[in-house]
Copies of this chain bind each other. A is one copy, B any other.
Amino acid sequence: MRKFIVTGLLLCLVCGGFAFGADEGAAKSPVELLEEKMQNNINIVWTCIAAFMVFFMQAGFAMVEAGFTRAKNAVNILMKNLMDFSMGTIAFFVVGFSLMFGASKGFIGWDGFGVGDLAKAGDDWSWTFLIFQTVFAGTAATIVSGAMAGRTKFKAYLTYSIFICAFIYPIFGSWAWGSLFHGGGWLESMGFCDFAGSTIVHSIGGWLALAGAMVLGPRIGKYGQDGKPKAILGHNVTLAALGVFILWFGWFGFNPGSTTVGDGEIGRVAVTTNLAAAAGAIIAMIVSWIIGKKPDGSMSLNGALAGLVGITAGCYTVTPIGAIAIGAIAGGLVVLSVYFVDGILKIDDPVGAVSVHGVCGAFGTLACGLFNAEGVIAGSGESTGLFYGGGFGQLGTQFAGVLACFAWAFGLGMVLFLAIKATVGLRVTEEEELKGLDITEHGMEAYSGFQIFNM
């Protein structure tokens, strides 16, 4: 696996089924054939379990987003989480997977590789690869709901969720990860490295969330007459914390699972992932403590997520010390970014999705060029195990990928949400927003029997 990465110019995510059979020249011995077969089965077991853990992140996102928003909109945000994954699953199966992994000339894959062919091909690896990629697409999709919480029409959100999994996510994905199956994209041929998707999954979601929150405008009451932001507290921090623990757990599928190979690299990637999350939580707590005089619970939880998003690109290529550095910086960055987006840009992002996934995803992708170890990444400058082994070229390439992602996701997001606004309508009425989306959109409330203040 490692050799493949070294020689294979940043094919960061390699399907196990392909790792073998590379040198078909000589006839294989029974022992070699057995190794292929057994390793393939180990890879499948591991990759499937990792996929299931990534699926479980949906529960984490649902709890974080519901917990950090108001009780009167809880059913609505849960429905959005359920539906973006459900509609995303079908959309990615019917269209997205083909666009992302079909044979490609570098920009969009399309060779009819899809539903029918996958069913016919039916080789062992295809199905495992499909379920793994489906849950990744679902992750990108579900990031957006939090930033648009409390004011978005349900129909509008359903429309969006088809587009992201059918087109927006998979086309960008084909540029950077297309060669994992059939195709091959321009970003990966440049040497862009994003092992598990800081940019390809998280920033895509984050920049779409930014576009959505901008087109929507802030919730009623978010900004006072003086333009200063008011905190609108979430209704259940306990569930938000549960959500963060679930996400942290699922990330052990997300990052180590992206090796798609059942070998010792799993443990190594798990270590970097865990260290970054821990460092992110600690530093976010400290920075919030300095700025706000008290260690803030929401910020600390978002700090753990920031560390996880940050390490996602470089989890395979950085040292543990590099991972701590990335996590720590991401943890500080997310606090500053939340204040910046909320207070300076005056964009209302109820759960901090833009900062966590967009900003820290971009940072993590750049950091992947700075902190890589042992010249694993092509370009091979010297490495002390902590700093800068990629050469400035690598950093430039990373920057290009980050920029391409922003242009693509934010640009298309603006077009999409403006188009939805002009057709289906994007935002509920003022009366609906004040009453809460649970009653007005779904005819039910989340906490029947509890005395709740309407805020």
A residues sitting closer than 8 Å to B (CB atoms) are 29-31, 34-35, 37-42, 44-49, 51-53, 55-56, 58-59, 62-63, 66, 70-72, 74-75, 78-79, 81-83, 85-87, 89-90, 93, 115-116, 118-119, 122-131, 134, 154, 233-239, 241-242, 244-246, 248-249, 252-253, 256, 262-264, 266-268, 270-271, 274-275, 277-279, 281-282, 285, 292-298, 300-301, 304, 319-321, 324, 373, 385, 438, 441-455
- If A70-B449, A268-B122, A448-B233 touch, does A58 touch B245 (CB 8 Å cutoff)? yes
| A35 x B34 contact (CB < 8 A) | yes
Q: Which of B236, B249, B373 contacts A56 (CB 8 A)?
A: B249
CB distance from A439 to the nearest CB of B (A): 10
| A59 x B242 contact (CB < 8 A) | yes
| A275 x B93 contact (CB < 8 A) | yes
Of the candidates A56, A244, A293, the one having the most CB atoms from chain B within 10 angstroms of its own CB is: A56
CB distance from A27 to the nearest CB of B (A): 15
- Residues from chain B with a CB closer than 8 A to the CB of A118 are 320
A-B contact pairs, 9 of them (CB 8 A): A44-B264, A44-B266, A49-B49, A78-B241, A87-B282, A128-B264, A233-B444, A448-B455, A449-B453
Beyond known contacts A56-B246, A127-B270: 18 more, CB 8 A cutoff: A38-B39, A42-B45, A42-B262, A45-B262, A52-B249, A52-B253, A56-B245, A58-B248, A59-B246, A83-B281, A83-B285, A90-B324, A115-B321, A122-B268, A128-B266, A131-B270, A242-B242, A296-B443
- Residues from chain B with a CB closer than 8 A to the CB of A293 are 443
Q: How many subunits of this chain does the assembly comprise?
A: 3
| A124 x B263 contact (CB < 8 A) | yes
A234 to B234, CA, bound (A): 21
